[in-house]
């Protein structure tokens, strides 16, 4: 199987459940420019941060916490930028006060973050996994340029992960994804976070001007006790 969003999805996330009904997420970064590719994902406590390979100056569009998770509540937030922290903290608060984790909270945060201020008006994308082991809640959202944020609660089937990307898939002429387009799907037959990270990395192989565009992929699988197990595949 090839990546369902084509050879250049930009940044991409998937949410769903494994064959044995464990909630899971996957996150992928691809890049055409040397600056985009010179990054790696690093686990720091309950976060996975996208940072530079060397002593590159901080850039909020390239360096950010892509994942935040908590093993007490079982909440995990996944996104392509500064919105990760706000989404995680908001749904953690909803969990603490016993409020319903609806998608409108994610939409308000994404509207505040706005689309990225680059020449492509790259959308912000995000996902949240919350809820109990018996009744997990999955929400995927996108904020495109000059359009209101749009978030959807999904009901994934076992082994079928649903996701969203920043771009439509063209290597030569990247275009921002249309928020109204259907969510992408991948079929994941494994059980572990390592299998998931490797699977997404493998199906996303592509090159631009002779360079492998894959930067990293991240997989996370939540066990019945709400503990998250994560794995990282870095190209460098």
Dist CA 157 CA 91 (whole Å): 23
pLDDT band at 124 (very low <50, low <70, confident <90, very high): very high
Dist CA 189 CA 148 (whole Å): 35
pLDDT at 201: 98
Does some domain include residue 57? yes
Does some domain include residue 2? no
Report the CATH number that the domain containing residue 136 is assigned in CATH: 3.60.20.20
The whole-model pTM stands at: 0.98
Does some domain include residue 85? yes
Domains of the chain: total: 1
Does some domain include residue 5? no
Residue 18 has pLDDT above 90, yes or no: yes
Dist CA 16 CA 221 (whole Å): 10
pLDDT 10s digits, 33-74: 999 999 999 999 999 999 999 888 889 899 999 999 999 999
Does some domain include residue 95? yes
Query: Who contacts 154 (Cβ-Cβ below 8 Å, separation ≥6)?
Result: 15, 16, 138, 139, 140, 162, 183
pLDDT at 132: 96
pLDDT 10s digits, 82-112: 999 999 999 999 999 999 999 999 999 999 9
Structural domain harbouring 105: 11-234
Does some domain include residue 1? no
Residue 233, token pair as written in the block: 């595949």
């Amino acid at each position: 199987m090839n990546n369902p969003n084509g050879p250049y999805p930009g940044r991409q996330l998937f949410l769903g459940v494994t064959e044995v009904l464990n909630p899971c997420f996957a996150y992928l970064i691809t890049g055409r420019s040397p600056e985009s590719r010179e990054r790696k994902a690093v686990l720091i406590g309950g976060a996975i941060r996208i940072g530079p390979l060397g002593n590159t100056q901080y850039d909020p569009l390239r360096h950010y916490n892509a994942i935040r998770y908590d093993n007490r509540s079982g909440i995990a937030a996944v996104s392509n930028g500064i919105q990760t922290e706000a989404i995680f903290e908001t749904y953690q608060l909803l969990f603490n006060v016993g409020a319903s984790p609806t998608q409108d909270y994610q939409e308000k945060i994404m509207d505040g973050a706005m689309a990225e201020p680059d020449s492509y008006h790259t959308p912000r994308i995000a996902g949240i996994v919350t809820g109990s082991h018996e009744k997990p809640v999955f929400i995927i959202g996108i904020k495109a340029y000059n359009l209101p944020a749009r978030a959807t609660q999904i009901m994934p089937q076992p082994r079928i992960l649903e996701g969203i990307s920043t771009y439509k898939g063209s290597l030569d002429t990247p275009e921002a994804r249309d928020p109204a387009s259907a969510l992408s799907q991948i079929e994941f037959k494994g059980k572990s976070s390592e299998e998931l990270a490797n699977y997404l990395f493998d199906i996303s192989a592509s090159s631009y001007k002779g360079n492998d565009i894959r930067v990293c992929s991240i997989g996370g699988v939540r066990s019945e006790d709400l503990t998250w197990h994560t794995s990282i595949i870095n190209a460098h």
